[in-house]
């Protein structure tokens, strides 16, 4: 009780990285790098690790503060117990014992100042750590928000890509149907063109220009034959009237019959 009391040495913890300088409450939060999804996930992991370290340091600082307050209370209780014990043992000499009692009950201003300074430093450190924790929590929330936005944008792009793929498939199916119908129609045209009397069936695949040329030849021959009949005095209806009055069945039968 009479000797110097041991001082509670406080070690100020640093930030993440084991040795980096401590950031104050007024330091600006570090900006998140990049806008890509992978970068955000890395930033979130780093911020969460820093947040865990800061929370651990905050808990340690609060524990040191509680320990210091507990020691102060224990010292006060010990001093009071010592005072009353000494007072009972030396009650016959109150005049000589009174200065010693005052010294024990009322510590020196230097001791009080040291204890108050330690408490003030602990409170300041706790305040700084709480500010750093709040900043890290805000950065974590911002990072999670950006990740959520990236996920929504990625889902929208994926949905749009699936819709485009579906439309492309529909277009391909429609194109195949049109191509199939066109080939059937072209085959019928070739068959009708080269099934007339005097026409030779093609030995190889014909180009569109060759098919059109053969059709034009048949039309010209028909016009010449019709003109020849009219010049001989044969009453024949107009070609346009005949085409309009002929039914599809009779038209097919007419195409199959040999030319006169």
DSSP per position, 204-260: SPPPHHHHHHHHHHHHHHHHHHHHHHHHTT-----HHHHHHH--HHHHHHHHHSPP-
pLDDT of residue 171: 95
Is the pLDDT at 22 greater than 80? The verdict is no
pLDDT of residue 128: 86
Is the pLDDT at 58 greater than 70? The verdict is yes
Least confident of 69-78, 219-228, 248-257: 248-257
pLDDT of residue 40: 65
Distance from C-alpha of 27 to C-alpha of 10, rounded to nearest angstrom: 23
Q: Average of pLDDT values for 199-227?
A: 81
Which of 5-9, 76-80, 216-220 has the largest mean confidence? 216-220
196 neighbors 256 (Cβ within 8 angstroms): no
Question: Taking the model in full, what pTM does it have?
Answer: 0.39
Q: What pLDDT band is residue 223 in, cutting at 50, 70 and 90?
A: confident
pLDDT of residue 155: 93
123 neighbors 65 (Cβ within 8 angstroms): yes
Is the pLDDT at 76 greater than 70? The verdict is yes
Which one has a higher pLDDT value, 100 or 41? 41
pLDDT of residue 130: 83
How far, in Å, are 13, 64, 79, 121, 182 from residue 69 at the CA level?
20, 9, 15, 13, 96
Q: What pLDDT band is residue 170 in, cutting at 50, 70 and 90?
A: very high
Which one has a higher pLDDT value, 18 or 232? 232
pLDDT of residue 143: 83
Q: Average of pLDDT values for 1-11?
A: 40
Least confident of 42-56, 80-94, 190-204: 80-94
Which one has a higher pLDDT value, 249 or 169? 169
Residue holding tokens 């034009």?
216
Within 8 A by CB and 6+ apart from 131, the residues are 24, 25, 26
The pLDDT tens digits for 231-259 are 888 887 777 654 544 445 444 554 554 44
Is the pLDDT at 198 greater than 90? The verdict is no
CA pseudo-torsion sign 12, 13, 17, 22: negative
Distance from C-alpha of 249 to C-alpha of 258, rounded to nearest angstrom: 16
């Amino acid at each position: 009780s009479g000797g110097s009391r041991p001082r509670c040495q406080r070690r100020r913890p640093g930030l993440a990285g084991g040795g980096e300088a401590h950031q104050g409450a007024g330091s600006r939060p570090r900006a998140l790098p990049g806008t890509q999804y992978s970068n955000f996930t890395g930033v979130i992991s780093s911020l969460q690790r820093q947040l865990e370290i800061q929370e651990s340091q905050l808990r340690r600082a609060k524990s040191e503060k509680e320990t210091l307050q507990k020691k102060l209370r224990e010292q006060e209780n010990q001093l009071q117990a010592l005072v009353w014990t000494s007072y009972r043992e030396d009650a016959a000499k109150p005049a000589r014992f009174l200065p010693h009692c005052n010294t024990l009950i009322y510590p020196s201003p230097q001791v009080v100042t040291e204890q108050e300074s330690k408490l003030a430093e602990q409170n300041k450190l706790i305040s700084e750590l709480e500010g750093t924790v709040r900043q890290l929590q805000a950065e974590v929330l911002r990072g999670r928000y950006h990740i959520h936005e990236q996920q929504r944008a990625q889902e929208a792009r994926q949905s749009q890509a699936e819709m485009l793929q579906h439309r492309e498939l529909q277009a391909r199916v429609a194109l195949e149907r049109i191509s199939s119908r066109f080939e059937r129609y072209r085959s019928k045209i070739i068959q009708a063109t080269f099934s007339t009397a005097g026409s030779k069936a093609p030995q190889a695949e014909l180009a569109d220009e060759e098919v059109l040329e053969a059709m034009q030849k048949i039309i010209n021959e028909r016009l010449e034959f019709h003109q020849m009949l009219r010049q001989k005095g044969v009453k024949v209806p107009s070609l346009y009237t005949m085409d309009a009055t002929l039914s599809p069945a009779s038209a097919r039968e007419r195409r199959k019959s040999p030319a006169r």
